[in-house]
Structure 1
Amino acid sequence: MTADPRAIKVGVLVPYTNTNLEPDIMLMRPEGCSLHFERLGDYDIDAIPGSDQMARLGAADITETLRLISGIRPRAVLYGCTSATLTHGAGFDRELAAQIGARSGAVSLTAAGSLVLAIRVLGAAKVGFSSPYLGEINDQAAAFLADEGIATVARADIGRELGNYGQGELTPDEIFALAMRVNVPEVEAIVLSCTDMRSVETVDRIEAATGKPVVTSNQAMVFALCRALGLPRPPGAPGRLFERL
């Protein structure tokens, strides 16, 4: 008998201007799961998403958001903004995951926590970190990873200020070029951080060009979900990371 393709309900919390997390997660949807999205707000749509704005999003009251997503009786809830907790630190990220889990009654996974898990599973201690963030957030991201025992030995950003829609408008070719800028010899894995960046589409291309594993925010969340629930590799999931399931 075929398993119910919608037996496992997965809630995904998405920043309200993010247009790429949902298609990425749907592309990598694990078999037996249905996906249910709820938007996150409490940031200025017209402002450049700097450290203060992302920290505000991470600290926002999501009580109503969790009440609504809990209506589907989820087995898991994914918190789909990496920089919202990178700006606060690893302890904050773990606490937020615990709060989401307690309030939703579900397995709770954050984008930043999933990046750390994926890097560790790959056995990488030194990473190249690429993102569309402002430099201050990249500084905080490197400190976050350092607290988790992961050294950022190369770093690249897009080189210009991007608004809340600009991150999602980067092309796969631009993201590939961004990743290649951190491909220095000592890097053991390449990290592409941001749930609104079209990184999933570039994973196989970057791995073929560099011979190194690639970890993206959205890919890492799906990997963490599969690992937590004992699910097999989804047909659409790219990268060497999923060989570790």
Structure 2
Amino acid sequence: MQFTYDLAPQLGTQATIGLVTLQSDETIEHDMRRIFPLDGVAYYVTRVPSGTEVTNDTLAEMEGNLTGAASLFPAPTRFDVVGYGCTSGTSVIGADVVADMVKKGCETKAVTDPLTGLITACQHLGIQRLAVLSPYVAEVNSSLISALGRAGIEVALLGTFNEEREEFAARIAPDSIADAAETLAKQGDFDALFLSCTNLRTLDVIDRIETATGLPVLSSNQVMGWHMARLAGVDPLQRFGRLMR
């Protein structure tokens, strides 16, 4: 027996959002599903090959795979925004190059990333001097500092867990992140704290750190989720930190 059928509209009556995340990332998908509402928002994820160790070389290698990863989204989908989920990768490859590579693989009105989200958040909050907490090694941190400097944002102080292995970065305990950030906040004069890396479990400690330090606290997933929501014209489901209030 053969049946006829009606066609329903595509999902995403309010917005359609895409995420290109790293093969090695264990955190960002979970965080983004907490930030974006489900009602009326279609949310699609694809992954790009990435190294198990984080160096400038392994980050740069992602450039050649970004278009292929974006092309694995459902073909008929037209996105309001696509985010590339790698802070350090963007600082090495360049935000403009990332956007070009993603747009070659899918149709989207806008592309953003944690670095672009951070710069936009700093402009929004009037932040010029940051303290940065990163899980990564010196060469990766240097690329981020340089990228922020080109955007007119000074990194006044850097703290790091000095961890090259992605799987360990993903498992740094939120309490360890909060303790390190609160210690860092006592060391200098700056406008805000930035917790760098989409693999860090930061969302649940942002408010705690802000309360303890009195400073705005930004994190990779928070700033990119905030920027994606603004670009897509949707309100976040949950709000984390002063930026999203």
Larger CA Rg, structure 1 vs 2? 2
Q: Do residues 77 (structure 1) and 82 (structure 2) align? A: yes
CA offsets, 1:100-124, max 9 Å, x none? 2354221211121111111211110
Question: Secondary structure of the residue that 1:23 maps to in structure 2?
Answer: helix
What TM-score does the superposition give when structure 1 sets the normalisation length? 0.87
Shift of 1:185: 4.4
Shift of 1:236: 1.4
Equivalence for 1:237: 239
Distance in structure 2 (CA, Å) of the matches to 1:142 and 1:200: 22
What TM-score does the superposition give when structure 2 sets the normalisation length? 0.87
The answer to whether the 8 Å contact 2:80/2:231 transfers is no
Q: Do residues 158 (structure 1) and 161 (structure 2) align? A: yes
**Alignment RMSD, CA only?**
1.9
Distance in structure 2 (CA, Å) of the matches to 1:9 and 1:147: 31
- Larger mean CA deviation between 23-32 and 122-131 belongs to 23-32
Of residues 127, 132, 136, the one that matches 2:135 is 132
Unaligned segments of structure 1, at least 5 residues: none
What amino acid is the match of 1:34?
Answer: A
Q: Do residues 177 (structure 1) and 175 (structure 2) align? A: no
The answer to whether the 8 Å contact 2:131/2:157 transfers is yes
1:83-162 to 2 correspondence within 5 Å? 83-88=88-93, 92-101=94-103, 103-106=105-108, 107-159=110-162, 161-162=163-164
Distance in structure 1 (CA, Å) of the matches to 2:208 and 2:64: 37
Of residues 22, 36, 51, the one that matches 2:29 is 22
Distance in structure 2 (CA, Å) of the matches to 1:70 and 1:101: 14
Question: Secondary structure of the residue that 2:73 maps to in structure 1?
Answer: helix
Shift of 1:137: 1.0
What amino acid is the match of 1:190?
Answer: L
The answer to whether the 8 Å contact 1:172/1:202 transfers is yes
Shift of 1:14: 0.9
Equivalence for 2:69: 65
Distance in structure 2 (CA, Å) of the matches to 1:12 and 1:119: 22
Distance in structure 1 (CA, Å) of the matches to 2:184 and 2:152: 19
The answer to whether the 8 Å contact 2:67/2:104 transfers is no
Unaligned segments of structure 2, at least 5 residues: 1-9
Equivalence for 2:41: 33
The answer to whether the 8 Å contact 2:16/2:81 transfers is yes
- Larger mean CA deviation between 174-183 and 211-220 belongs to 174-183
Shift of 1:70: 5.0
Q: Which runs of 4+ in 1 moved over 3 A?
A: none
Aligned residues between the structures:
231
Shift of 1:178: 2.4
